[in-house]
A and B are shown apart, each in its own frame.
Chain A
Amino acid sequence: MSKYFISILIGLLPILAEAQSEPLDLSQKDTVEYKDQYGLRVGADISKLVLSFVDEDYTGLELVGDYRLTRKLYLAAEIGNETKRQRENLNNTLLYDYETSGSYIKAGVDLNTYENWYGMNNAITIGGRYAVASFSQTLNEYNLYETDRFFNQDFLSGENPDREFNGLSASWLEFVVGVKVELFANIFAGMSTRLGFLVTNTEDEAFPNLWIPGFNKVTEGSKFGVNYNYSITYFIPLYKKSKKPKEDNQQ
């Protein structure tokens, strides 16, 4: 038996050699895969805060937040309260002076269109919101416009100043374009421009809604309005999820 042992061994040698022929894998797959952070981002609009200090006729606060649903899609919302006093003049004569005050809530989605480099979390987003505002307008003072000067050289004062119009409301759709940049770890600076389209607008017959909290100026004969925000937000990480490898990288 041992006489043949060497022969068998020699006979099996090609198989052994075959087993060794598997090539050395030099480009092994990276097992440290990058995981995207998922969580909640909350913050405030700093432009409204700054304006509240600078402009004595304005106070406003807006809290912003978003929650990451998928790699690109975020649920986003804003909630705010604004008070703004405005005066309309004609050649230094006051026509009317009014104050709008109320709250609004906006909710919708943001879609990140920006492809980040490894480890970066910046965003260029487009999104949509549906917004609802509830507010009141106070007509502080007004004068009656009259170009004929036969009886009065100046405009007469209105009969019923200091009138408050309550229970006003409006709702609108908003198209949002924004950017968010991670300044420090988990702290983001963002800005967005919003084009609003009024869907409903409940106003008093005696005094229309000239300005709506969250919507900004209402233009006559148009349902569009423009507003913006500059936000500082903090990201609260909740969980991590690995980024799916891209199909075109597999080739």
Chain B
Amino acid sequence: MKKIIPILLIAATLYFVSSCEKDDICVEGDTPLMVIGFFNIDDTTAAKRVPSIRIRSIDIDSVLSNASFSDRSNSPDSLQVPLRSNATTTMYQIISNSADDDETDQETGNIDTLTISYELGEAFISRACGFVVNYNNITVTVPESAENWIQDIKVVQPNVENTNNIHVKIFH
């Protein structure tokens, strides 16, 4: 009987070893995207969609598309845009009523250029994910123009650490 107890203890210990291997898949986090919400300028609490939205990156000259919205269709209430991790500014053209001219293939929509400036930070998330980038103290500017469809911009979350909440509100 006395010999059974140590054997049981060793077995229990081995069970502990095998049950602790949950750290292999990264589920805890990711480098966050900036969440933009679109609101009505007349009623700042009401979401307002942007018709036929298109987002172009000036930095790498290509059209953004990801799971949060569809190119050249009505925007959702909020969408996610990535920020550059190797620079402290990212510029996007946000185009409403985006379409191409039939003859010239020129963009006929209303183009507003967003400049997002931020400080880069790094954070260790977990054993499986390692390090991610955080964007701190973001500021968003739009050049003043009478033709702007964007009326106002408000940063509600200056630190982009996750994609759970809206970081920037665009009023139009």
Contacts and interface: CB of A to CB of B under 8 A. Distances in A.
Interface of A: 88, 90, 95-96, 113-115, 124, 126, 142-148, 150-152, 156, 158-160, 175, 177, 179, 193-195, 206-208, 210, 219-220, 222, 224, 226
Given A142-B131, A145-B129, A224-B20, A159 B122 contact: yes
Contacts of A220: 22-23, 126-127
A124 B30 contact: no
B126 A146 contact: no
A27 B17 CA distance: 55
A95 B126 CA distance: 11
Given A219-B20, A220-B23, A148 B82 contact: yes
B146 interface: no
Interface residues of B, number: 39
A124 B128 CA distance: 38
A158 B3 CA distance: 53
Interface stretch (B6-14, B39-47, B71-79, B94-102): B6-14
Interface in B36-69: 57, 59-60, 64, 66
B131 A150 contact: no
B31 A226 contact: no
23 contacts: A96-B130, A114-B3, A126-B5, A126-B6, A143-B130, A144-B131, A144-B133, A148-B33, A148-B66, A150-B64, A151-B60, A156-B85, A158-B131, A159-B120, A159-B122, A177-B9, A195-B13, A195-B16, A206-B122, A219-B22, A219-B23, A220-B22, A224-B16
Contacts of B84: 151
Nearest to B57: A150
A145 B131 contact: yes
Contact of B30 (A115, A145, A175, A226): A145
A115 to B, nearest CB: 8
Contacts of A210: 127
A150 B9 contact: no
B86 interface: yes
Contact of B124 (A147, A175, A194, A208): A208
